[in-house]
């Protein structure tokens, strides 16, 4: 079983990444793409960071 502190840190990371990706998706859909375009690489970077974090745990 995972350490409770580790489980909490993973949940916080997932919540942060999920909210970031949802925010970027909403902005891309609601505002002109020229305005939201700088956030797309940021969302990719956050997603890659999450994947690296989760892969380092196994």
CA 19 – CA 35 distance, rounded (Å): 19
Q: H-type helices in 1-58, by residue range?
A: 4-30, 33-36, 39-57
Give me Rg for the CA atoms of the chain.
Answer: 14
pLDDT in 10s for each residue of the chain, 58 residues: 668 888 888 788 778 878 888 888 888 889 888 888 888 888 888 888 878 877 886 6
């Amino acid at each position: 079983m995972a350490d409770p502190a580790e489980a909490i840190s993973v949940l916080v990371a997932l919540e942060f990444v999920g909210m970031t990706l949802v925010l970027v998706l909403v902005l891309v859909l609601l505002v002109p793409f020229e305005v939201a375009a700088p956030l797309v690489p940021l969302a990719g970077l956050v997603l890659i960071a999450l994947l690296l974090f989760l892969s380092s745990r196994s």
